[in-house]
Structures are given as C-alpha cells and as structure tokens.
Amino acid sequence: MHRLRTTVVRLRPIAAPQTAKSQSQARLAAVGGALRTFQPMRSYTASVSAEPFLNGTSSNYVEEMYYAWLENPRSVHKSWDIFFRNANAGAPPGAAYQSPPPLGGAALGLANAQAMVGVQPNVEKLVEDHLAVQSLVRAYQIRGHHVAQLDPLGIMAAIDPGPPPSDIITSNDKLEFYGLDESDLDKVFRLPTTTFIGGSESTLPLREIIQRLEMAYCQSIGVEFMFINDLEQCQWIRQKFERPGIMQFTLEEKRTLLARMVRSTRSRKGYLKLGIGLISGLGDIDLTSCLTSCFLLARFEEFLQRKWSSEKRFGLEGCESLIPALKTIIDKSSMNGVESIIMGMPHRGRLNVLANVIRKELDQIFCQFDSKLEAADEGSGDVKYHLGMWHRRINRVTDRNITLSLMANPSHLEAVDPVVQGKTKAEQFYCGDTEGNRVMSILLHGDAAFAGQGVVYETFHLSDLPSYTTHGTIHVVVNNQIGFTTDPRVARSSSYPTDVAKVVNAPIFHVNADDPEAVMYVCNVAAEWRATFHKDVVVDLVCYRRNGHNEMDEPMFTQPLMYKQIKKQKGVLQKYAEKLIAEGAVTRQEYEEEIAKYDKICEEAHARSKDEKILHIKHWLDSPWPGFFNMDGQPKSMTSPSTGLTEEELGHIGHIASSVPVEDFTIHGGLSRILKGRAAMVGQRVCDWALGEYMAFGSLLKEGTHIRLSGQDVERGTFSHRHHVLHDQNVDKRICIPMNHIAPNQAPYTVCNSSLSEYGVLGFELGFAMASPNALVLWEAQFGDFHNTAQCIIDQFICPGQAKWVRQNGIVLLLPHGMEGMGPEHSSARPERFLQMCNEDPDAYPLIVFTPKSLLRHPDAKSNFDDMLPGTHFQRLIPDSGPVCEKPDGVKRIVFCTGKVYYELTRERKNRGMDNTVAIARIEQLSPFPFDQVKVETDRYPNADLVWCQEEHKNQGYYDYVKPRLRTTVDRTRPVWYDQPPSLTPLCFVLKVFSLLSHVCMCECVFMYMCV
C-alpha cells in the first residue's frame, strides 16, 4: 500500500516542493537551528514495481479510486475496496490484490477475500490511524511552539525549558505515541478541516504532514493560539501559518526589493519614498524597509556608543528587529486605514524608536546627551529615555498621513500601559472612531516586566470592556531573556513571559528576533489580526541583550555562560546582510556604502546638535493641546468664571434628575421614592450632594463639555445616591441615562462602571484626560483609601507630570473620605498625602475632591438655589454666617475646618451655648490655599484665638499643611491650636464607640481650653 501511496503522491506532487524546501532551509540557515528527524523538506520514495497494475497511466485511475475510497469505501467496486483494505492492513507487495469475484458468485468470492485479511481489524486500523493523524495535527497546533527554534542564542535558558512534548515528532520513535511507526510515514491520510497544511490538497502522506507541520509551527515562529475560544479566529490563524508557501520569498522578489531599498536609502536624507515589495507569501511586506530599519538601528546604536560611551542609553543591541517590527505594524495598519498610533514603551531601545520610528530629529536626540544645555521650560525635566514625542508625517509606504505619539513614561515599568489605552480611547471617542479603525495603540514591554507587573493584567482586563476597549492593542515584547540581572527561571512561574495575555484570548506569536523575515511576517499578521478582529495580540521577540542592563553594567558577574554565548553571537544585521549578499540580492559594496552614508547623516546631525544651547522640554510633548496655550506656553484662560445657572436651568436639570425621560420604562419602587425626594428638593429650591452633582454635570453638558465619570459602581454610586443609569425592571439590559436628555445639542455624558481595578483604571482615565483639555474626566474611588493601589499613577504621572514633561492634565479624583468607623484605615482617603504633593501653583492641575459619605444624606448638608444663581462662584472658604457676624469683637475663638466635621462642631457649639463666641469657617479649597479669604476671617475676629480642627490625628489629615499657612496669614502674631495626638492608623475607634469617642475627643480639643 505504501507504494501505491507513493505512486499517488508522485503522480500528484504537493504544490511547490522546491519552495517549501528552500523556505525551510532559509529559515534554518537564518536561525542556525539544529536539524531534526522531520526536516520540512519533501522526500521522494521508491518505485512501485511490486504492483505492476499501478504503473504508468493506470496510476491516475488508481489514485482517483483511492481518494474516492477514502471518502467512502462503498463508492468503489468491491474488489477495490478489498484491495485498499488489504493494502492498508499491511498486506505484503503483491498480496493485496484479489481477483474480482465471479459474476453470480460475488458472495462467495467476497467472503473468501474477507476471510483472508479480515475486514473488521483493517477498518479499525484505518480509523485509528486517521484519528492519530488528526491528533498529531492538533498537537502541533497546540504545542508546536514548544519546539520552535525561538532562541537566537540557542541556549533556550528562558524559553519553556522543559523537555519537548512527547506528542511532537522530534524523532521517529515519537510516532509510537500515536500507534504509528515508520512504515506509516508514506501512507496517505485525509486532512482534518481544522488544518490548512494541504493547501489545495485534502490528503497527504504522513511524512509530508509532519514536515509541513514542522514548517508551520516549529521554525522561527512559535504560535500560541489554541486556547482561543472562537473557532473562526483559530481558523484564521491556522491559515496564516499553515498554508504551504505562505512565508515564501523568491530570490527575484528580494532582488527587486533590495534594489529599491538601495536606491531609496541613498536618497534617505531627503525622505524619498522607499520601494514596497509585494511578496507573494507575505502579502505586501516591505522587505526593503526591513533591512533598512535593521541597518539604521544598528548604526544608530553604534553611533551613540561611539560618541557617548559612558552614557546610559539602554540600547537595543540584540533586538535589532524591533525597529522593522514596529515599522511593519505601522505600515500595515496605515494600509488598513489607521491614522493615529499611540505608543507606550519602557527604556530599552527608546531613543532608537524615537529616532527611527517616530522620526525625532537626530540632532534633538543627540543634544540630550549634552549636560551643559540649559532648560528653557519650567520644571526639572526627565532623563532622555523617558521623554515622549508627537509627530504627524507621511507614511512613506502608504503615502498616507499618520500621527505617531510615544507617551512619556516614568521609571515604573508598565505604568504607562493603561495611560496609553486611555489616551487611545479618548482619541477614538473624539473622532467618532467607534470601531478603532482610525486610532490604535502599540505597547512595548520587557519580558520581566510584562510577566511581573500586575498593571499589565489590569490593562488586559480593560481591553474588551465597552467603555474602555481600544479595539485591539498590538503588544510587542522585547524578550531578551533577562531582567536586569535576574534570570527568568527565578522571575516568573509561567512558561513564557507572555502568558498573561491568554486571559483575553489574545494570540501570541513568539518569534526568533534573529530571523527578520519571520519577525516581519508575524508583525504583518498581528496588524491584520487587529484590523480583522479588533482584539489584542502579542508579538514576543525572542532576542538577547548584547550589553549589560545599561551600557555601564557588567553582565558577566551574574550571567557568565549566557554572555559567553552572546559575545560569540553575530549581530542580526550582519547575518542578514551576509545572507542577502550570498543570495546575490545585494553586493558588499552597496552594503558598505550604506553604512558610510548613514554614519555621515549621524555625524552631520551631531554637528548640528552642538549649536543647541537650550533644551526645550516642550519639544518633547506627547499630547499637545492645540489652542489651549498662548505663545509663552501658559494656558490662555485661567480665570475663574461664575459657575451660576439661571433659575430656569436649575429647575430643568432638577426635573431631569428626578424623572425618567423615556416612555414605557419601569424603574424600581425604591428609586421612584428617591426621584420623588429629588423633585421635592427642587420644589424647595435646595440641592443635596447628588443633586448638586447633577446640576454641575448637566450644565456643563449643556454647554458642550464632554463628561466622563468612571470607577467602580459609579453608575449607581457606591452609596446609592447617584443613580445616573436607570435600569428597566422588566427588560434585561435596557437602561436610560437621563443626563443624556438634558438638551438637544448637549455633549455626550459617559458614565461607566469600571473593572475592579484602581491602578489600571486611574491610569486609563488619566490617559483619557490627556487627550483634551476641554473635557471633564473624573475617576471615583469606591472608598478614598483604595486610591493607594493606584498610587503609582498619582506619584509618577499626576503629581510630577508638569515638572517632568510640561504636561498638564485636568483629571478629577473623587475620593470618599470621612471617619465613620469603617475600619481603622479604611475611612481615610489620606488627604495628607495629596497635600504633601501640592504647591500654590494654580495651573491646570488635577483636582482631588474628598467627597462625603454620611453627608450624602445629612439633612443640613444642602445648598440653596440662591447659592447657585448667575454671578455666584465656587466658595473657596465658607465663612460663618451665624450670630457671630453681629458682634465679631466678642468672638473668642475661630475654628477653621473642612469636611464633615463642620456639622459636628456646629451641633456641639450649640449644645455648649457658644454660638456667639465661637466662629466656624470652612476651608473648601485647601490647595491652592485661600490666603486672601482666611485673612479676611482672621481680621474679622481680632480677639479670637485660632484653632484648626480635624477628625484625623495630628500626623495625618490637613494639619501639617494648614498650620504654617494659617500662621503665615496672621504673620505669626497668633498661635494655631490643635491637640489630637499622633497615631499610626487614621483613627483606632471602630463602629459604635467610634462616633462617641471621636466626637468627645475632638470637641474637647476644640472647645475645652477656651478662655471664655
């Protein structure tokens, strides 16, 4: 039978055997992979002399019979059926054939034949073998990446270090796993519909099947995708990697492309258009730019090393393919209609990306190395490998405009991930790109950070949520198999650094970064995946780090063997150039000319950079706000206009807030009562906090300001006070957002419950707020103390963003705060931490609001409409308007406070009969401190001593911030009293005892020592 199959195969050879062979050889050559039993090459087997009727022209017929029989054994004559069964059961040459049964004696002849080999076992064997082949195909699809030749160093130290899986045929004896042996290798099997290795053929000999699977899954690319739940997506990936010849490059195509590359590179300085190669297998990959990018990249790093050998630059050597990888993604995405790409990346290779992907002028980069430059902008600036950049230019491959921005980022690895996502979402939102067809993001990661940092996981979890999705991010991991000095085996518990991406069903393409064509191929597929499915995808560039963590570090201290290997390693450019020179695609002379040319470009830029005397951080802005700043870089309008609304507007918004503005919508009975209560307040011309928020949001929306409120359970409000999203009690998922029914031409209101994350979500909203100064973007913590898991966003972006990157941001943080016995530390939003970050600069800084909890329902915590009419303003300080105003000279004490404590103090003052002698002033805006208004109050009561009152202990809350400012206000002429002892926790009291004890303590402090 094997001869029959051999004949069949021989008569109809698999398409383009030569290309398959040359392709595999090229790959192996490129990556220096070791040969295995099943090299992806076609083999031809012996003649068929033992079955004479199979020779010559009859074999076509036999082939047809055989395929028909494979489909359905009854479709062929019984004699053929018996023949095929016998042959398949291993009948020796010549023995498979049985004479056709005589006419009229069919039953007897058949019975004899069947008796000879036994039908049942043959069928079973046939079925078993086919099932085995199906399993084998599946095994390669699932686990082929485990044996792919991914590691350019060939030490596989970091990549899945276990033994190869036993169901991958790395040697002939592995066939046993499937109940097969070598004699089965030339049997022909029908291919399952879940593979595309057959191309136009539906059957293949086992040997060929294995070779093609090796080709698809075990070369320079390891594809991890079989965990994806969606069959269509799996099929899409299979056909991208399995189709024969899909990654094929002909010599002729390379020659053409390289000729174009050589031409275009010569005129590179004038940014002339590069040639684009339409390569059959790759679609329209630009191979010229692949080589050019490697080339530029290598020369760029080399140049920096030569000029500033003792400077840290976190060079990319060892992962030179990153630049062509990014350019491929950008080109392909631009072809698919993307106009703006927002990128986030760590230190490694950042200068190179700025120079060769974003195209920051080289002299601007070089002058960053000059320590004598004077800063022209405020603030301290940041190290050069953290700076961002925004650039609109023509994509030379597609001839279309593309805007590229690389977000500035702090040292904190991966912290920028959610920020990039938020900015991307905002850009999509403002240009009406609901599918992510025009704006997208690319995130770069280091392998250690991608595996280790939790914010990566948090960011992935935003990727498919309606109000947070950016419709697919392309992640590129620079997997240099080391993190600073730490080996992966002690840095992560997962096989790959990329395993985290599996939570969102993102396919993961591991690729040997020393095979630039394979890198380009997977990047192309990644960009197509994103354009097709609008989902995340990961490209894992398995590479190495030629130097230490930075250029000053000695890596041999800790990774001696790895670095011995690295020292022997030829650079990828050299390897690739040698390959193409050997192929005749480029001459050595052309290659050397290009090196000289690029060096000259760098030298000229270096000379120009010396003329720079002043460093403008503003030239490195990643998010310019056009129209917002004047020529001096100051915001055009920082006045504080009246926030008042007309009676009619207040009434109208109040009406919307207390009604259901759509027909046939059934709300919960409890909510009806809440809305009735709101209607009653509107009737009485007062607002509680929730209604006040409605007034603020509603009026801004009406004026055309987009508002986005995000956070855990914000739609209803943690304390069930807000109810901005109404739910129909009878129709699943039918909702109504009354705030979007304020006025016909209003701006949209986005209110969205977030995933249960603070770090990721606050980062996201910060990024969203970065995109435009003309929107109100708010993040609400469920309880104020929860902001501490997002502390990195506050400390690294919100607080120092202006000083480091002259980047302003108007995000608002709503942090429920108040000592209400909810656990010692859970009650405090830690205002002291925020105040510590403040100076008195009134620029467009973020706003931190310590919002109420119990005061949401306190009967006295209400404002009259009169306080909101035209001409009114936000009150930075609310003075005492009670009896003390009549005889201020008689006031013995003025108590300054903020927040809910005011209500407790007024009650206690009344209880103690001190309404005429104690004034209480509320400081509503702590920073910038309202010196002017505090002075008015202190002057008003010349005989009063000054007390600061807060619920929090002395070492917490506002005291340390307020005290020196109060004293400055009164020129240190009067002391400022405060007497809560310091404590480790915000307040140690719990539940019922809390309110009693804390109240007594505090009131004693405020009122007891008064000399009245």
Ligand X SMILES: Cc1ncc(C[n+]2csc(CCOP(=O)(O)OP(=O)(O)O)c2C)c(N)n1
Distance of CA 183 to the CA centre of its chain: 50
To ligand X, the closest distance from the beta carbon of 789 in angstroms equals 14
Q: Tell me if 386 contacts ligand X by CB under 6 A.
A: no
Binding footprint of ligand X, residue count (CB under 6 A): 15
Residue selected from 448, 653, 747, 775 as contacting ligand X according to rule CB under 6 A: 448
Q: Which residues contact 866 (CB under 8 A, 6 or more apart)?
A: 685
Smaller CB distance to ligand X: residue 453 or 469? 453
Q: How far apart are CA 285 and CA 279, in angstroms?
A: 7
Whole-angstrom Cα distance, residue 816 to residue 186? 72
Quote the CA–CA distance of 398 and 891 in Å, as a whole number.
76
Contact range with ligand X by CB under 6 A, out of 21-29, 31-39, 181-189, 411-419:
411-419
- Of 40 and 410, nearer to ligand X (C-beta) is 410
SS (H, E, C) 321-353: CHHHHHHHHHHHHHHCCCCEEEEECCCCCHHHH
Q: Which of 348, 423, 471, 708 binds ligand X (CB under 6 A)?
A: 348
Report in angstroms how near the CB of residue 410 gets to ligand X at its nearest: 8
**Segment interacting with ligand X, rule: CB under 6 A, options 25-33, 89-97, 360-368, 476-484:** 476-484
DSSP string, 487-530: -GGGT-SSSSTTGGGGGGT--EEEEETT-HHHHHHHHHHHHHHH
Site for ligand X in 545-584 (CB under 6 A): 545, 549
Which one of the spans 410-418, 532-540, 597-605, 710-718 is the region binding ligand X (CB under 6 A)?
A: 410-418
Least Cβ distance, residue 261 to ligand X (angstroms)? 29
* Minimum distance of ligand X from residue 264's CB (angstroms): 31
What are the tokens at 198? 């057959």
Q: Quick one: 480 or 609, whose CB is closer to ligand X?
A: 480
Shortest CB 717 distance to ligand X, Å = 33
Provide the minimum distance between the beta carbon of 458 and ligand X in the complex, in angstroms, as a whole number.
14
- The H-assigned helical ranges of 572-668 are 572-583, 588-609, 647-657
Stretch that binds ligand X, among 408-416, 635-643, 733-741, 745-753 (CB under 6 A): 408-416
**Which listed range, 406-414, 591-599, 886-894, 916-924, lies at the site for ligand X (CB under 6 A)?**
406-414
Nearer to ligand X, 274 or 541 (CB): 541
Quote the CA–CA distance of 886 and 881 in Å, as a whole number. Answer: 9
Q: What number of other Cβ atoms are within 10 A of residue 588's Cβ?
A: 10
Radius of gyration of the chain (CA): 36
- DSSP-derived 3-state class of residue 885: helix
Least spacing, CB of residue 125 vs ligand X, in Å: 51
Which residue in 422, 483, 816, 986 binds ligand X (CB under 6 A)? 483
Q: Which is nearer to ligand X, 440 or 442 (CB)?
A: 442
Output the smallest distance, CB 479 to ligand X, in A. Answer: 8
Candidate ranges 478-486, 603-611, 827-835, 865-873; the one touching ligand X (CB under 6 A): 478-486
Our finding on whether 412 is near ligand X (CB under 6 A) is yes
Closer to ligand X by Cβ: residue 224 or 540: 540
Q: Which is nearer to ligand X, 1 or 449 (CB)?
A: 449
Residues 342 and 407 sit within 8 Å (Cβ to Cβ): yes
Question: How are beta strands 473-479 and 537-542 bridged, if at all?
Answer: parallel
d(C-alpha 254, C-alpha 166), whole Å: 38
Binder among 80, 227, 430, 484 for ligand X (CB under 6 A): 484
List 478, 508, 586, 987, residue binding ligand X (CB under 6 A): 478
Stretch that binds ligand X, among 76-84, 479-487, 570-578, 803-811 (CB under 6 A): 479-487
Write each residue from 628 to 667 as x if it is in contact with ligand X (CB under 6 A), else as -, in one continuous string: ----------------------------------------
CA angle 951, 953, 958 (to 5 degrees): 70
What is the rounded distance in angstroms from the CA atom of residue 779 to the CA atom of residue 422? 12
Applying CB under 6 A, among 9, 209, 297, 482 the residue interacting with ligand X is 482
- Chain residue whose CB lies nearest ligand X: 446
Closest contact distance (angstroms) between CB of 573 and ligand X is: 19
Single-letter code of the amino acid located at 108: L
* Alpha-carbon dihedral sign for residues 277, 280, 285, 289: negative
Segment lying near ligand X (by CB under 6 A), choices 183-191, 405-413, 918-926, 953-961: 405-413
User: 986, 827 in Cβ contact below 8 A?
Assistant: yes
Interacting positions 529-548 with ligand X (CB under 6 A): 545
CB of 475 to ligand X, least distance (A): 13
Short-list 9, 3, 181, 5, CA closest to 93: 3
Phi-psi region of 100 (alpha: psi -120 to 50; beta: other; left: phi over 0): beta
**What are the CA-CA distances from residue 714 to residues 178, 684, 779, 794, 809 (Å)?**
56, 27, 9, 20, 22
Which of 33, 222, 436, 446 binds ligand X (CB under 6 A)? It is 446
Q: How far is the CB of 290 from ligand X (least distance, A)?
A: 22
Nearest distance from C-beta of residue 484 to ligand X, angstroms: 4
User: CA-CA distance, 51 to 73, in Å (whole number)?
Assistant: 21
Cα angle: 707, vertex 709, 715; to 5 degrees: 125
Check residue 1007 and report its DSSP letter.
I
Stretch that binds ligand X, among 96-104, 172-180, 447-455, 524-532 (CB under 6 A): 447-455
Is residue 791 packed enough to be buried (19+ CB in 10 Å), middle (13-18) or exposed (0-12)? Answer: middle
Q: How far is the CB of 755 from ligand X (least distance, A)?
A: 21
Binding mask 662-701 for ligand X (x = CB under 6 A): ----------------------------------------
| Binder among 439, 449, 520, 572 for ligand X (CB under 6 A) | 449
Q: Is 741 in the site for ligand X (CB under 6 A)?
A: no
Examine residue 457 and tell whether it contacts ligand X (CB under 6 A): no
Query: Residue 737: which region, alpha, beta or left (left: phi > 0; alpha: psi -120 to 50)?
Result: beta
Cα 337 to Cα 243: distance, rounded to the nearest angstrom: 27
Separation between Cα atoms, residue 323 and residue 541, nearest integer Å: 11
The reply to whether 413 sits near ligand X by the rule CB under 6 A is yes
- Stretch near ligand X under the rule CB under 6 A, chosen from 134-142, 397-405, 480-488, 684-692: 480-488
Q: Is 350 in the site for ligand X (CB under 6 A)?
A: no
Measure the CA–CA gap between 741 and 743, rounded to whole angstroms.
Answer: 6
The CB-of-189 to ligand X minimum distance in angstroms stands at 43
CB of 298 to ligand X, least distance (A): 17
- Nearest CB to ligand X, comparing residues 443 and 478: 478
Output 274 or 538, the one with its CB closest to ligand X.
Answer: 538
Whether residue 401 contacts residue 745, with contact meaning beta carbons closer than 8 Å, is answered with: no
> Which window, 441-449, 636-644, 646-654, 847-855, contacts ligand X (CB under 6 A)?
441-449
Q: Which amino acid is at 284?
A: D
Phi, psi at residue 365, to the nearest 5°?
Answer: -75, -45
Tokens of 890: 């008689």
Contact call for residue 447 and ligand X (CB under 6 A): yes
Q: Binding ligand X by CB under 6 A: which of 211, 480, 782, 809?
A: 480
- Distance of CA 975 to CAs 210, 771, 918, 924, Å? 87, 46, 16, 22
Instruction: Give contact residues for ligand X (rule: CB under 6 A).
Output: 348, 411-413, 446-449, 478, 480, 482-484, 545, 549
